[in-house]
Amino acid sequence: MLARDDNDRVTRVGPGTPMGETLRRYWLPALLAWELPEPDCPPVRVKLLGEELVAFRDSRGRVGLLDERCPHRQASLFLGRNEECGLRCVYHGWKFDVDGQCVDMFRSKRNRDNGYLLDRRVQKTETFTGIDGINVQDRAVQESMSPIVDRSREHLGPADRAVIQARRLLLQATRTVEAGGVPPGVEPTYYTLHPAEAVVARETDWRSLVAPDAPRAPVLERV
Ligand code: FES
């Protein structure tokens, strides 16, 4: 019978454990060759010594074994595209070669340098922006405002009341926290709140319709 400590020592095989570090000095069978039958074939999940991995065969026939989680935002590389000597994450397009090196970071063909391929004729005759695709439209407008927007230069109008209200709430929350208080939205009393949509008469207290049990916080500004 082993002592509990020794039992842990011989059974724990994750990275950094004594047995894990020892076993990683040896060759370990992971897959049969036919499981990656040809260049650029679908990747395969592999679990070795407690680690979730993905194996793939690149365009030149070389085999790579990567952490399943993409180092960018942790999406699964099992979902990745095996193409042109690398496995490309389908979330934001980072691409890794068989050595695990990031060899490409996806950059949209429509970007600031080419004016997001804005078509002025289309803008005049077909769509409001002339830019194809809602994602690209959003990105174009946001990037045009610079990485950190100087909001002291804005001039908000009547249509921006929700923006004004949200900023007041955020500023008020930071001051509350600085003063040692609890910002709004932390208390469990907010758990019953949920999104809702309705058209109601102007004099109606909309809160009594969508969240009758919610506590009445003071309204900073009526929209
Ligand atoms: S999570 Fe993989 S590229 Fe962003």
Convert the pLDDT of each residue in 20-37 to its tens digit: 999 999 999 999 999 999
CATH code of the domain occupying 32-104:
2.102.10.10
User: What pLDDT does residue 219 have?
Assistant: 57
Residue 172 has what pLDDT? 93
The finding on whether 36 has its CB within 6 A of some atom of ligand 1 is no
What are the residue ranges in the chain where pLDDT is below 50?
223
Report how far ligand 1's centroid is from the alpha carbon of 195 (Å): 30
Rounded distance between C-alpha atoms, residue 137 and residue 187, angstroms: 37
pLDDT of residue 1: 83
Delimit the domains of the chain by residue range.
1-30, 32-104, 107-149
For residue 179, give the amino acid letter: A
CB atoms within 10 A of CB 82: 21
Question: Please, what's the b/e burial string for 12-32 (b: 16 or more CB within 10 A of its CB; e: otherwise)?
Answer: ebeeebeeeeeeeeeeeeeee
- Which residues contact residue 14 at a Cβ distance below 8 angstroms, ignoring those fewer than 6 apart? 20, 49, 50, 51
Ligand 1 site-directed mutation target among 54, 67, 69, 70, most atoms within 8 Å of CB = 70
Ligand 1 pocket member 75 (CB < 6 A): yes
Per-residue pLDDT at 184: 84
DSSP secondary-structure letter at 158? G
Write down the pLDDT at residue 69.
Answer: 96
Terminal Cα-to-Cα distance of the chain (whole angstroms): 74
Between the CA of 34 and the centroid of ligand 1 the distance, in Å, is: 28
60-96 tens-digit pLDDT:
999 999 999 999 999 999 999 999 999 999 988 999 9
What pLDDT sits at residue 13?
94
Q: What is the pLDDT of residue 195?
A: 77
- What's phi and psi for 160, nearest 5 deg? -105, 20
Contact 97, 104 (CB under 8 A): no
Tell me, what's the pLDDT at 217?
A: 61
